[in-house]
């Protein structure tokens, strides 16, 4: 039997997961990703928590505080951004500065974990979940720098990397739809908006109950459908813009190659046109410039 369609995770973050009654769902996803039992203390205010027309298309942020006093940023991203890695670095840096109060020592810097659910391909890599941390390796001895006993007591951390921001990149479209573990069960839901009956990941059963589209009121269902239509339209616009941009780049490259060949004077217009896929007329125009 086909699985029942569920509300997308980004919509759930905007509408449902902000309720304490549904923290169990979010805690389940975070626990499976971070391989730890996560308890959410509260939802924190963020500029990107605002719901307005300019925010609804390409990004949804949720900022929460867990019982370890760590701040977790969760972002869903649909649009291709080549500088996205710098963007998440900026985001974590901003959170750190926002939560370090005046006259507080640097030992009070907040630990930030950035979780990015991406519906486009970022960089080159075979995996669909990437984890980034900070480490310091000796140039001569190749050893990893460790915290001293005094620093462990000061920071309440055992490992040096635990002080610095951590980053998780979930490349949803790279997932092959085969759930090999409980984290994969959540990623299956992120990609397909459905949960199989035999899934056992933490929080996923409640997600299946609470994120059922059929439980929406008529008004909410219409709003959800409009939101999905907006996302499809935005995705089409981005794809079109990207394709046009690539074509323009290829045209500029062909023109540059043609100009270089004209300057060398070793080929005639027909030969250059064949190599660059430009017309003979375009080659003649370049030659007469």
Task: Indicate the length of the chain as a whole number.
Answer: 289
Mean pLDDT of all residues belonging to the chain: 86
Q: How confident is the model at residue 217 (pLDDT cuts 50, 70, 90)?
A: confident
Give me the pLDDT at residue 265, please: 74
From the centroid of its chain, how far is CA 58?
Answer: 11
Give me the pLDDT at residue 55, please: 43
Most confident of 29-38, 72-81, 217-226: 29-38
Q: What is the mean pLDDT of residues 239-250?
A: 56
122 and 84 Cβ atoms separated by less than 8 Å: yes
Classified as helix, coil or strand, 125 is coil
Give me the pLDDT at residue 257, please: 83
> Could you give phi then psi for residue 202, rounded to 5 degrees?
-60, 130
**CB atoms closer than 10 angstroms to residue 41:** 12
CA distance 69 to 125: 32
Give the pair of three-digit tokens for residue 5.
Answer: 């369609």
From the centroid of its chain, how far is CA 208?
Answer: 23
- Is the pLDDT confidence value at 232 over 70? no
Name the nearest CA neighbour of 117 among 237, 9, 198, 5. 9
Q: Which residue has the tokens 């660059």?
A: 276
Domain ranges of the chain: 9-215, 222-288
Give the pair of three-digit tokens for residue 118.
Answer: 């991406």
CA distance 286 to 275: 15
pLDDT in tens, 89-147: 999 999 999 999 988 999 899 999 999 999 988 888 999 999 999 999 999 999 999 99
274 and 254 Cβ atoms separated by less than 8 Å: no
Q: How confident is the model at residue 239 (pLDDT cuts 50, 70, 90)?
A: low
CA distance 216 to 220: 6
Q: What is the mean pLDDT of residues 1-8?
A: 77
Name the nearest CA neighbour of 108 among 159, 149, 71. 71
Strand partners, 132: 167
């Amino acid at each position: 039997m086909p699985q029942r369609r569920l509300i997308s995770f980004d919509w759930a973050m905007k509408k449902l997961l902000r309720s304490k009654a549904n923290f169990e769902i979010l805690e389940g996803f975070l626990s499976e990703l971070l391989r730890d039992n996560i308890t959410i203390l509260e939802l924190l205010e963020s500029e990107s928590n605002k719901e307005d027309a300019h925010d609804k298309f390409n990004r949804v942020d949720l900022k929460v505080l867990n019982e370890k006093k760590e701040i977790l940023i969760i972002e869903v991203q649909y649009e291709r951004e080549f500088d996205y890695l710098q963007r998440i670095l900026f985001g974590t840096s901003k959170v750190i500065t926002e939560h370090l109060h005046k006259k507080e020592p640097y030992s009070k810097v907040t630990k930030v974990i950035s979780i990015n659910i991406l519906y486009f391909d970022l960089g080159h890599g075979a995996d669909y979940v990437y984890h980034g941390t900070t480490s310091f390796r000796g140039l001569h001895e190749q050893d990893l720098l460790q915290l001293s006993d005094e620093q462990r007591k000061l920071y309440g951390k055992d490992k040096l990397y635990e002080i610095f921001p951590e980053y998780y990149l979930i490349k949803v479209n790279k997932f092959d739809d085969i759930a090999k573990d409980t984290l994969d069960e959540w990623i299956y839901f992120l990609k397909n908006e459905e949960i199989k009956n035999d899934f056992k990941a933490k929080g996923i059963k409640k997600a299946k109950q609470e994120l059922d589209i059929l439980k929406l009121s008529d008004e909410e269902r219409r709003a959800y459908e409009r939101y999905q239509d907006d996302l499809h339209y935005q995705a089409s616009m981005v794809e079109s813009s990207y394709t046009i941009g690539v074509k323009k780049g290829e045209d500029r490259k062909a023109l540059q190659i043609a100009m270089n060949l004209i300057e060398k004077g070793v080929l005639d217009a027909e030969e250059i046109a064949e190599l660059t896929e430009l017309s003979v007329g375009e080659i003649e125009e370049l030659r007469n410039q």
